[in-house]
Amino acid sequence: MQLYPQYTRNGDAHVRESLGMHLLDLVRRAAKPGPWAEGDNIPWHDPAFSRRMLAEHLSQAHDAASRRFETVDRHVRWVHAEVLGGRATRVLDLGCGPGLYTTRLARLGHECLGIDYSPASIAYATRQATADNLRCTYRLEDVRLAGYGSGFGLVTLIYGELNVFRPADARLILGKAQTALEPGGALLLEPHTFAAVHDMGKQPRSWHSSAAGLFSDRPHVSLEERSWDPATATATMRYYVVDAATGEVTCHAQSLQAYSDAQYRDLLRECGYGEVTFFPSLSGDEPAPRGGLFAILARKVP
């Protein structure tokens, strides 16, 4: 899974409500939240959070937010050669982040559109495209609400992003992507396995302290707890950030939907795709270095 899955719709309202929380509110919290009951996700749209997250995306010390560049290069080579047959096309990258995949695809002759909800990432990707004179366009929008256009040979949604969305939103996104593809065009997904999402929800509570970090520029303590709901096959994570100086508590919550292989196939067919093929990773035959992610390639029925 991507350590910091993307996108929020109700998360901003939830954060505003959480700003007045204190330690007693944390003690009185619900023992086990329902899926998506406490907000959709962490605050990707917040400028300060987005700035801190961009640094994580570009870091070559870990693969927590984005992959190291050598891995991205390997993935792009496979997509260009095997998925697209070496032919230039129009590419739509949903949840593009700072454009690590789109910039590389553009250098291979593709025309790319990236959509993301993180202002710092979109600004960075735009600067890179301008500086290198690449055929890349970036839009700061929520992929659930954005219009995609049409005539794309490839639409991508990678690094576990599909699982972050409620099932109804996932169907909405996949349906819009199908409409955006040209006949015979490809959808490339990289979702989590059912077991990976299940394991996320079963992890024990944890905490750490930091002088500054992803959730705050100030000294703070971060507490994380997770739960698994077998009835809905969802994992929910809560992040409590306690300001060291004031004791103020900010809460962020996110849920991930688990799907079996058969459910992924059914979901794609319901949304108008055919030729559904599973791969061990975005490198084709090589297993993913981090377990729990795999690739699905589906074609729009001509």
Ramachandran class of 247: left when φ > 0, alpha when ψ lies in -120 to 50, beta otherwise: left
Whether residue 215 is found in the same domain as residue 188: no
The pLDDT value recorded for residue 11 is 37
pLDDT at 117 over 90: yes
Using the CB atoms, write b or e for 2-16: b if 16+ within 10 Å: bebbbbbbebbebbe
Domain assignment of residue 285, yes or no: yes
Domain assignment of residue 182, yes or no: yes
Whether residue 133 is found in the same domain as residue 23: no
Whether residue 185 is found in the same domain as residue 89: yes
The pLDDT value recorded for residue 33 is 84
Residues near 214 by Cβ (< 8 Å), separated by ≥ 6? 4, 49, 52, 53, 56
Whether residue 252 is found in the same domain as residue 105: no
Whether residue 235 is found in the same domain as residue 289: no
Whether residue 22 is found in the same domain as residue 150: no
Does residue 268 contact residue 278 with C-beta atoms inside 8 Å?
A: no
Whether residue 272 is found in the same domain as residue 248: no
Whether residue 84 is found in the same domain as residue 168: yes
Global confidence as pTM: 0.89
The pLDDT value recorded for residue 289 is 66
pLDDT at 85 over 60: yes
**Residue type for position 94:** L
Averaged pLDDT, 292-298: 96
Query: Helix, strand or coil for residue 21?
Result: strand
Whether residue 230 is found in the same domain as residue 268: no
CA dihedral 294, 62, 4, 94 (to 10 degrees): -60
Sign of CA dihedral 285, 286, 290, 291: positive
Domain assignment of residue 48, yes or no: no
- Give me the domain span that covers residue 77: 56-193+259-300
**Residue type for position 286:** E
Averaged pLDDT, 33-44: 82
Whether residue 234 is found in the same domain as residue 140: no
Average pLDDT, the chain: 90
Whether residue 200 is found in the same domain as residue 189: no
Domain assignment of residue 8, yes or no: no
Whether residue 189 is found in the same domain as residue 282: yes
pLDDT tens digits along 45-75: 888 888 998 888 889 988 887 889 999 999 9
Q: What percent of the chain has pLDDT over 90?
A: 73
Closest CA to 252 of 3, 1, 16, 27: 16
Work out the pLDDT band at 1, boundaries 50, 70, 90. Answer: very low
Residues in the chain: 302
Domain assignment of residue 49, yes or no: no
The pLDDT value recorded for residue 20 is 57
The pLDDT value recorded for residue 84 is 97
Number of domains in the chain: 2
pLDDT tens digits along 2-27: 443 433 333 333 333 344 578 888 88
Domain assignment of residue 25, yes or no: yes
Sign of CA dihedral 11, 127, 3, 102: positive
